[in-house]
Chain A
Amino acid sequence: MALDHKDVKDIANLARLAISDENIDKYSTELSSILDLVEQMNAVNTDGVQPLAHPTDAVQRLRADVVTESNNREKYMANAPAQEEGLFLVPKVVE
């Protein structure tokens, strides 16, 4: 599977990754080479095989719906790159 420049740009956009134009060639070659490797999977017929989601087929545990976290707001906010009055700051979203 070969990915062209447009494919690479589309994928980068979906992944919200800025990549420079001069690197698109490189990514298109590298990603195509990885997909070639991955497509070796097609050599085997897996019709009817149950996909394995958990190695020991365990199921999700449930817990009681009770508060377990204590309030550490200031500590959690300490890593925020930009904040004001206890809120995360981002560029304007709605005009």
Chain B
Amino acid sequence: MSTNMHNLTLAQISKGLEAGDFTSVEITQHFLDRIEKLDQSESGINSFITVSKEQALADAQAADERRAAGNATQWTGVPFAHKDIFCTDGTLTTCGSKMLSNFVPPYDATVVDNFKKEGAVCLGKTNMDEFAMGSSNESSFFGGVKNPWNKETIPGGSSGGSAAAVAARLVPAATGTDTGGSIRQPAALCGLTGLKPTYGRCSRFGMIAFASSLDQAGPMTQTAEDAAMMLNVMSSFDEKDSTSIDQTIPDYTATLNDSIAGKVIGLPKEFFPESLDGEMAEKVRAAIAEFEKLGCTVKEISLPSTDLAIPAYYVVAPAECSANLSRMDGVRFGHRCEDPKDVEDLYKRSRGEGFGDEVKRRIMIGTYALSTGFYDAYYVKAQQIRRLIKNDFVSAFESVDIIMGPVTPSPAFKAGSHSGDPTEMYMEDKFTLSCNLAGLPGMSIPAGQINGLPVGLQMIGNYWDEAGMLNMAHQFQQKTEFHKQVPQGI
């Protein structure tokens, strides 16, 4: 047993458990000690909202017994963490909000259940922007999360806790969710591999809904190989999610070593605008040049509706969130105001007190967009634009295998620097939103650093081609070292 166990990848931990190099209890305790020391202290990273210490050790013990009995799978005893958006039976699930700061779900999300069946060990629930609305993790009721690469900067959001926890090696991997970039953007800013699958690939049952037609769960890991291992567990067809798609699920690890020679990479000119930071463009182009060395060819393409993604997203997402969050009314669960004088007062004050500023703004925009007389001008118009965005991608994929570009306009920014006009924060997602609106799978992989802070390369694949993206990413990571870089002092 080594004292550097926290630097192991998921795949290495899985092999180490199988070989008997360490037990699940030993490695679980190692990570729990790190969380206590580096995360939960006063000046800590604050990437966890709940640390499930006792449960994790009990699960690790059970996993070791299962292994001894000869029933272990690749995941049995492997530690990881869940974003606090996934309902966990008997464990606090807050979604980063005061509204749910006392909510203990009576059931497990399907994604949670999938990991439990394998005997994986969940160490706790990670911090996030409130109801997944944000790109900096600053909207969490439980306080901001520090980026382990530079503690004055944000880790990205909304899956910022998951990203920071993996970057600081407090956990080898974590789940995230991505509605407009919430896996890919924090993965990019924390130097990780993050994947948002095709809409319908992972069940949304028990994953607290933000914008139902956009939300997808996905892995946040150190490597593409780990992302494949994680997606194998996360993917499932689920009767309990009416938008889950019954589509064959391949073994995502099986094709990682396929040759990628001859693949055609599309570079949309809209992803490289003149306004793009010069160093960012340089890093992204250098990463793409590595793919050319691996035998890929590059083709310039156009996705003309790209600029419409931000306006369309800021109708669709708020409209759907205003409907989804109407269930938080202070009656059946969640925050309730003191001494309501009537039902209306109960609703209004419970919601007014329970939701933070960004959530209120989005509920109000969504309520306005869906109100009588405005529905066609806003929601229908936005859904038509989604069609145009999808059509752009469909025609691009007739001549390319994969699309690449930057994930973010810049590396991580300083905490508090985007607190003025909310639309300034929205620009952070300009390269990631179109993928969600079209329902396509997208990925971020480390592509180097600018001023000591990581930046990502974005890959967008065709529908259901997660395996193809993971193959490309894995081949890239066999030839590059970006994904192996860790923050100082970790």
B360 and A17 contact, CB distance less than 8 A = yes
A41 to B355, CA, bound (A): 29
Q: A-facing mask of B373-386, CB < 8 A → 1, else 0?
A: 00000101111111
A18 and B351 contact, CB distance less than 8 A = yes
Interface residues of A in 70-90 (CB under 8 A from B): 72, 75-76, 78-82, 88, 90
Interface residues of A in 35-71 (CB under 8 A from B): 35-44, 46, 49-56, 58, 60-61, 63
A61 to B311, CA, bound (A): 31
Give the residue name and chain of the B residue nearest to A77 (CB): B332
The distance from the CB of B299 to the nearest CB of chain A, in whole angstroms, is 24
A35 and B363 contact, CB distance less than 8 A = no
- Contacting residue for B385 out of A39, A44, A82, CB 8 A: A44
In the complex, chain A residues whose CB is within 8 Å of the CB of B413:
none
The distance from the CB of B100 to the nearest CB of chain A, in whole angstroms, is 9
From B20-28, B225-233, B257-265, B334-342, the one touching the partner chain is B334-342
B364 and A56 contact, CB distance less than 8 A = no
Interface residues of B in 25-44 (CB under 8 A from A): none
A90 to B341, CA, bound (A): 10
- Contacting residue for A41 out of B103, B311, B423, CB 8 A: B311
Interface residues of B in 435-453 (CB under 8 A from A): 437-440
- Contacting residue for B423 out of A12, A33, A50, A88, CB 8 A: A33
A55 and B106 contact, CB distance less than 8 A = no
Number of B residues with CB within 8 Å of any CB on chain A: 73
A18-B349, A44-B385 as given contacts; A12 in contact with B364, CB under 8 Å: yes
Give the residue name and chain of the B residue nearest to A58 (CB): B245
Q: Does A6 belong to the interface (CB within 8 Å)?
A: no
The distance from the CB of B236 to the nearest CB of chain A, in whole angstroms, is 15
A49 to B392, CA, bound (A): 13
B361 and A50 contact, CB distance less than 8 A = no
The distance from the CB of A25 to the nearest CB of chain B, in whole angstroms, is 14
A31 to B362, CA, bound (A): 9
In the complex, chain A residues whose CB is within 8 Å of the CB of B245:
56, 58
In the complex, chain B residues whose CB is within 8 Å of the CB of A61:
239, 242
B384 and A37 contact, CB distance less than 8 A = no
The distance from the CB of B302 to the nearest CB of chain A, in whole angstroms, is 15
Q: Does A2 belong to the interface (CB within 8 Å)?
A: no
A40 and B308 contact, CB distance less than 8 A = yes
A41 and B381 contact, CB distance less than 8 A = yes
A75 and B106 contact, CB distance less than 8 A = yes
A46 and B426 contact, CB distance less than 8 A = no
A37 to B426, CA, bound (A): 10
A75 to B368, CA, bound (A): 36
B106 and A76 contact, CB distance less than 8 A = yes
In the complex, chain B residues whose CB is within 8 Å of the CB of A33:
421-423
A51 and B384 contact, CB distance less than 8 A = yes
A49-B384, A58-B200 as given contacts; A37 in contact with B333, CB under 8 Å: no
Give the residue name and chain of the B residue nearest to A19 (CB): B352
Q: Does B331 belong to the interface (CB within 8 Å)?
A: yes
In the complex, chain B residues whose CB is within 8 Å of the CB of A51:
380, 383-384, 386-387
In the complex, chain A residues whose CB is within 8 Å of the CB of B382:
41
In the complex, chain B residues whose CB is within 8 Å of the CB of A34:
314, 361, 365, 422-423, 426
B363 and A15 contact, CB distance less than 8 A = yes
- Contacting residue for B106 out of A3, A18, A72, CB 8 A: A72
Give the residue name and chain of the A residue nearest to B382 (CB): A41
In the complex, chain A residues whose CB is within 8 Å of the CB of B422:
30, 33-34
The distance from the CB of A27 to the nearest CB of chain B, in whole angstroms, is 7
A60 and B315 contact, CB distance less than 8 A = no
A40 to B307, CA, bound (A): 9
In the complex, chain A residues whose CB is within 8 Å of the CB of B352:
17-19
In the complex, chain A residues whose CB is within 8 Å of the CB of B347:
16
- Contacting residue for A37 out of B345, B423, B438, CB 8 A: B423
Give the residue name and chain of the B residue nearest to A74 (CB): B106
A78 and B381 contact, CB distance less than 8 A = no
- Contacting residue for A58 out of B243, B311, B438, CB 8 A: B243
In the complex, chain A residues whose CB is within 8 Å of the CB of B333:
79-81
In the complex, chain B residues whose CB is within 8 Å of the CB of A35:
365, 368
The distance from the CB of A37 to the nearest CB of chain B, in whole angstroms, is 5
Give the residue name and chain of the B residue nearest to A82 (CB): B336
Top 6 closest pairs, chain A to chain B, by CB: A55-B439, A18-B352, A51-B383, A81-B336, A79-B333, A46-B384
What are 15 of the A-B contact pairs (CB < 8 Å)? Answer: A12-B364, A16-B347, A19-B352, A19-B360, A34-B423, A38-B314, A46-B384, A49-B387, A52-B383, A52-B386, A55-B390, A55-B439, A56-B439, A78-B106, A81-B330
B residues adjacent to A (C-beta < 8 A): 102-104, 106, 198-200, 213, 239, 242-243, 245, 305, 307-308, 310-312, 314-315, 322, 326, 329-336, 340-349, 351-353, 355, 360-361, 363-365, 367-369, 371, 378, 380-388, 390, 421-423, 426, 437-440, 463
